[in-house]
């Protein structure tokens, strides 16, 4: 969206969107973190003792020292990329040993900064053309090897990438745009509602069926668009009739019965 950016917190396991908001395109991601965390705390009703078991995996846009100190003061765990590439290059000069990991090199150094809690600091060196690019990562976790930390960090993007793509393709978020800022924000929130209803349907009706691997686009295109009728009596849904000739009708009726019954 030209001149605008969408911030989102998502759940990988349940395919749910926990929080979304629309910001002006010139607002840096670093300013979106605190509202996202507070909204997530509210949505999940996280008690202070539960925060100790929550890990925030963040890319460099949110990894400022101020944000990290704020998260750690709230007793969260973090696995985050630092904001400053210049700092990463300066710290790389302290490294005496690099270990190969996939197509990059990793090193761990003693923490040069005080963020209020013990932290592990990793430097990544990545070859690019005829030079190296550096980045650094901070973590409160205890994992057995540097590669485990990087793998855990790299896996953070699954929800964001998949859910953005699914909303754009399955719910046509990219093609439905409003000129007014608040209208576009309302559209995003309505898309979130549709997204979470489909996620709930997948979790409660499609797990364990031949449709389990269907992503949002296929659910909308191949299941929810089957022609049929909803039969109501006294304002209550009594029967669902689907086009018999559709190849997915019979299996979907079983899923719908399971979904409505709540089993």
125 and 222 housed in the same domain = no
Nearest CA to 187 among 66, 21, 65, 51? Answer: 21
Spell out the residues 6+ positions from residue 67 whose beta carbon is closer than 8 angstroms to its own.
Answer: 30, 33, 34, 58
CB 61 within 8 A of CB 41: no
pLDDT for position 20: 82
Token digits for 18?
């926990």
pLDDT for position 7: 65
Q: Higher model confidence: residue 250 or residue 27?
A: 250
Spell out the residues 6+ positions from residue 110 whose beta carbon is closer than 8 angstroms to its own.
Answer: 121
Task: Name the one residue in this structure whose structure tokens are 């019954």.
Answer: 261
23 and 116 housed in the same domain = yes
26 and 110 housed in the same domain = yes
Token digits for 98?
């690099």
Mean pLDDT score across all residues of the chain: 87
pLDDT for position 246: 95
93 and 191 housed in the same domain = no
Provide, rounded to the nearest whole percent, the portion of the chain with pLDDT above 90.
51
pLDDT in tens, 134-151: 999 999 999 989 999 999
255: confidence class by pLDDT, cuts 50, 70, 90:
very high
CB 65 within 8 A of CB 33: no
122 and 196 housed in the same domain = no
- Of the candidates 161, 190, 206, which is a domain's last residue? 161
pLDDT for position 53: 92
Q: Strand pairing partners for 6?
A: 22
73 and 131 housed in the same domain = yes
Residue ranges making up the domain that contains 93: 4-161
Q: What is the mean pLDDT of residues 153-161?
A: 69
> In whole angstroms, how large is the CA radius of gyration of the chain?
23
- Rounded Cα gap, residues 217 and 170, in angstroms: 4
Residue 223, SS3? helix
- Rounded Cα gap, residues 68 and 72, in angstroms: 6
- Of the candidates 145, 161, 177, which is a domain's last residue? 161
105 and 167 housed in the same domain = no
90 and 41 housed in the same domain = yes
- The phi, psi pair for 39, rounded to 5°, reads -70, -35
228 and 173 housed in the same domain = yes
pLDDT in tens, 189-245: 888 888 889 989 999 999 999 999 998 889 999 999 999 999 999 988 888 899 999
16 and 128 housed in the same domain = yes
Q: What is the mean pLDDT of residues 72-83?
A: 93
Number of domains in the chain: 2
The domain that holds 93 is classified in CATH as: 3.90.350.10
pLDDT at 171 over 60: yes
CB 217 within 8 A of CB 234: no
- Of the candidates 122, 143, 161, which is a domain's last residue? 161
10 and 69 housed in the same domain = yes
């Amino acid at each position: 969206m030209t001149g605008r950016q969408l911030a989102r917190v998502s759940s990988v396991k349940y395919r749910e969107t926990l929080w979304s908001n629309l910001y002006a395109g010139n607002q840096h991601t670093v300013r979106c973190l605190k509202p996202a965390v507070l909204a997530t705390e509210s949505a999940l009703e996280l008690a202070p003792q539960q925060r100790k078991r929550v890990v925030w995996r963040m890319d460099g846009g949110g990894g400022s020292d101020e944000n990290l100190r704020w998260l750690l003061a709230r007793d969260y765990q973090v696995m985050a990329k630092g904001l400053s590439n210049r700092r990463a290059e300066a710290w790389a000069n302290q490294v005496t040993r690099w270990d190969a990991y996939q197509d990059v090199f990793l090193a761990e150094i003693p923490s040069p900064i005080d963020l209020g809690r013990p932290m592990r600091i990793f430097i990544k060196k990545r070859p690019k053309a005829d030079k190296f690019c550096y980045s650094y990562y901070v973590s409160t976790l205890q994992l057995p090897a540097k590669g485990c930390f990087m793998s855990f960090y790299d896996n953070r993007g699954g929800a964001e990438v998949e859910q953005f793509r699914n909303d754009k393709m399955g719910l046509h978020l990219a093609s439905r745009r409003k000129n007014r800022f608040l209208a576009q924000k309302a559209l995003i929130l309505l898309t979130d509602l549709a997204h979470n209803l489909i996620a709930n349907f997948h979790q409660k009706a499609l797990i364990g069926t031949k449709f389990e691997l269907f992503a949002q686009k296929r659910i909308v295109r191949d299941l929810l668009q089957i022609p049929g009728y909803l039969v109501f009596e006294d304002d209550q849904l009594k029967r669902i009739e689907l086009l018999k000739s559709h190849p997915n009708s019979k299996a979907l009726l079983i899923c719908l019965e399971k979904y409505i019954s709540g089993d």
